[in-house]
Amino acid sequence: MNFGRTLAVARKEVLQVVRDSRSLLIVLVMPLMLMTLLGYGVNLDTKHLRVYALDREGSPASQNLLKRFQSSEYFTLVAMVNDYRALDAALDDGRCQLAIVIPHDFSARLHDGRPVTVQALVDGSDSNTAQLAIGYAQGVLAGYGAGVQAAFFRSSHAPTVNPSVSIETRTWFNEDLESKNFIVPGVAAVVMAVIGTLLTSLTIAREWERGTMEQLISTPLTAFEIIIGKLIPYFMLGMFDTAICVAVAVWWFDVPFRGSLITLAVGSGLYMTVILGLGFWISVFTRDQLAASQIGLVAAFLPSMLLSGFTFPIDQMAVGIRPVTYIVAARYYIIILKTVFLRGNGLRILAVPALALSLYAVLIVMLAKRSFHKTLA
């Protein structure tokens, strides 16, 4: 492989990229935008859920329970209604997210020691918020129940009882459990997938469309030189973007960075190679910008966002789809990112993903080269 010729191709490519200022601008601004959105917009811990209540009894006891809901930071008691249908209607049009129904014999049952049931109606169409609402409601009710029980035991002159078991939690690696600490590092993987695969495949598909690729092929350049030469500028762009992502994560979002930059650089380089190879491969067999964009989306962007462990934890996915995540390169890169940011240098943890990415990189470059050869003939 002749370095001089490869660099010539690379130079041409760099000029082309630099001249297209619009794409360049977008490529540089996109990571910032994604990070802002994800860093600030994503908050899975919902508070101030709106609550409607139907208190069929209206006794001091039931009022006390409702006061507990009101004083919880998770709920805001918005309205009291007089019938069930009003609750249904409010849930229907979103005026409330939780509806509490207190039975008419609430105090009586509490007093007699008969089991009391408080109903919690939630809007199941937003299953996530509904789950959280139920969880919080159970917490409020448990607190109320404990209070009532304690009062009962005191009045019966039972020896003092405290809540029996308390849970002391300690979190490793992300002590404050801030969403942003676990989301922001992963953004680099998604950004690179977009730049690496999508933009690359589009650029190269365009050359096929216009016929300039055939011109390249008719020169003495070998397939390998063309591939490497074309991908170099995108590689550098991608690494530059990664650097931006890391800088913003650490300096703006205060995400801890406990590992070494070298480890990150090597991991990013490997990932970048895979991602670029994929982009090139897509462009070779589609040769059409529209098809390349659609396929690139499904083959690179979506998996990197959804199947890599970035948004949804892999252990929680349906069993059938978990094997698929093994071929998503971003999965390995995200492990590297999270480890380097939050854990420090667990080399033992990093070995597996690094190896996987290396193998993947070699495989995909071979594949791209072979497809390229086939189409030349």
Partner 1 sequence: MIERLHQILIKEFIHLFRDPRARFALIIPPLLQMLIFGYAATYEVNHLSTAVIDLDHSQESREFLERFTSSNRFQVREVLTDQSQIADLIDHRRVALVLQIHPGFAALLRKGQTAPVQALLDGTDSNTALIAIGYINQVATKYSEEYQLERAGRLLPAAVHFAPRIRLEERPLYNANLESRWFFVPGVIGTLLLLSVITLTAFAVVREREIGTLEQLMVTPITPAEVIIGKTVPFLIVGLGNLILVAVAGTLWFQIPFRGSPLVLLLGTILFLSSALGVGLLISTLCTTQQQAFSLGFFYVTPAIMLSGFGYPVQSMPEALRLVTYLDPLRFFLVVLRSTFLKGVGLEVLWPQMVAMALLGIGTLTLATLRFHKTLD
Site for partner 1 in 154-173 (CB under 8 A): 156, 158-173
Residue 351 contacts partner 1 per CB under 8 A: no
Residue 43 contacts partner 1 per CB under 8 A: yes
Q: Which residues of 205-233 are buried (b: 16+ CB within 10 A; e: fewer)?
A: bbbbeeeebeeeeeeebbbbbbbbbbbbb
Residue 57 contacts partner 1 per CB under 8 A: no
Q: Which is nearer to partner 1, 34 or 80 (CB)?
A: 34
Residue 64 contacts partner 1 per CB under 8 A: no
Dig out the tokens for 189 from the structure: 């993987």
Query: For 165, left (φ over 0), alpha (ψ -120 to 50), or beta?
Result: beta
Residue 144 contacts partner 1 per CB under 8 A: yes
What gap in Å lies between CA 8 and CA 13, rounded to an integer? Answer: 9
What gap in Å lies between CA 248 and CA 255, rounded to an integer? Answer: 9
Q: Which is nearer to partner 1, 1 or 44 (CB)?
A: 44
For the residues of 288-315, what is the DSSP string, one character each? Answer: SHHHHHHHHIIIIIHIIIIISSSSS-GG
CB of 24 to partner 1, least distance (A): 9
Residue 327 contacts partner 1 per CB under 8 A: no
Phi, psi angles (nearest 5°) of residue 51: -120, 135
CB of 11 to partner 1, least distance (A): 20
The terminus-to-terminus CA distance of the chain in angstroms comes to 20
Residue 131 contacts partner 1 per CB under 8 A: yes
* The binder of partner 1 chosen from 14, 32, 79, 141 (CB under 8 A): 141
**Binding range to partner 1, per CB under 8 A, among 233-241, 244-252, 285-293, 353-361:** 285-293
Pairing relationship of beta strands 75-80 and 98-102 according to DSSP bridges: unpaired
CB of 320 to partner 1, least distance (A): 6
CB of 5 to partner 1, least distance (A): 25
**Binding range to partner 1, per CB under 8 A, among 144-152, 241-249, 259-267, 365-373:** 144-152
Q: How many CA atoms lie within 13 A of 127 on its CB side?
A: 0
Residue 58 neighbours by CB distance under 10 Å: 14
Q: Which residues pair with 54 in a beta bridge?
A: 101
CB of 103 to partner 1, least distance (A): 10
* Closest to 309 (Cα-Cα) out of 189, 181, 180: 189
What gap in Å lies between CA 146 and CA 159, rounded to an integer? Answer: 15
Sheet with 75-80: strands ordered across: 75-80, 49-55, 98-102
Residue 306 contacts partner 1 per CB under 8 A: yes
Crossing angle, helix 261-286 and helix 223-251, to 10 degrees?
130
Binding mask 82-101 for partner 1 (x = CB under 8 A): ------x--xxxx-------
* The binder of partner 1 chosen from 76, 129, 222, 358 (CB under 8 A): 129
Cα dist from 101 to 57, 66, 266, whole Å: 10, 10, 58
Cα dist from 25 to 15, 20, 54, whole Å: 15, 9, 55
Binding mask 5-34 for partner 1 (x = CB under 8 A): ---------------x-xx--xx-xx--xx
* The binder of partner 1 chosen from 119, 215, 219, 260 (CB under 8 A): 119
Residue 1 contacts partner 1 per CB under 8 A: no
Q: Which is nearer to partner 1, 142 or 366 (CB)?
A: 142
Query: What residues numbered 215-254 form the site for partner 1, per CB under 8 A?
Result: none
Residue 175 contacts partner 1 per CB under 8 A: yes
Phi, psi angles (nearest 5°) of residue 83: -145, 165
Residue 312 contacts partner 1 per CB under 8 A: yes
Q: Which is nearer to partner 1, 212 or 219 (CB)?
A: 212
Residue 108 contacts partner 1 per CB under 8 A: no
Q: Which is nearer to partner 1, 24 or 376 (CB)?
A: 24
Residue 263 contacts partner 1 per CB under 8 A: no
Residue 270 contacts partner 1 per CB under 8 A: no
Residue 316 contacts partner 1 per CB under 8 A: yes
